[in-house]
Amino acid sequence: MPTIIERLQAEHGRLGRPVQLLNSERSLPTDPGSPNIALLVDTLNYLTRFPDVAHHAIEDRITEKLRGKNALSGEFAREIEAQHVTLISQGHELLQGLEAAAREENMSQERVEIHVRLYAERLRHNMTVEELTLFPAAVRYLDELLAGHRACRCGWTTVSSVRGHGR
């Protein structure tokens, strides 16, 4: 059974592929007449909604827990939480902008493309920060907790199930 951190890491892998694609494409199909506009909308729906609903909320809870235990610096915790707030609000704006562009209102195709790329870059950066700070801190904290329980020969079952070793 994968640990929660392994699951979050695997989700980064799945989110990273479309993010990389959005960043590497020379031009994005933001034109309402483009045959690939539906694919772009589906990709952005996935990138903006899945992390907001299922991914960032778990990371926020882990961040809060680690900060409360002094296992993650306040600086990194604040940065990760602020990134999530920005990603949520910009994700909503991005989808609204894309819908407006599809109706050929308000926002130009060029501006939509810039916003899509900025969103993808912000999500990529957020995942990198978490992989460098949050995930190692969580693994370290759980390892120390596990070592402490081993040393006092208590609670092996409880801690090992958190780490994913309990069957």
Residues that bind Fe ion (CB under 5 A): 130
From the CB of residue 34, how many other CB atoms can be counted at a distance below 10 Å? 14
Residue showing the smallest CB distance to Fe ion in the complex:
130
| Residue with Cβ nearer Fe ion (132 or 147) | 132
The minimum distance between CB 140 and Fe ion, in angstroms, equals 18
Q: Return d(Cα 72, Cα 142) in angstroms, integer.
A: 13
The minimum distance between CB 130 and Fe ion, in angstroms, equals 5
Do residues 66 and 144 make contact, with C-beta atoms less than 8 angstroms apart? no
Q: Residue 153 has which token pair?
A: 């020969």
Cβ-Cβ contacts under 8 Å for 25 (sequence gap 6 or more):
none
| Residue with Cβ nearer Fe ion (82 or 147) | 82
| Residue with Cβ nearer Fe ion (113 or 130) | 130
The minimum distance between CB 18 and Fe ion, in angstroms, equals 14
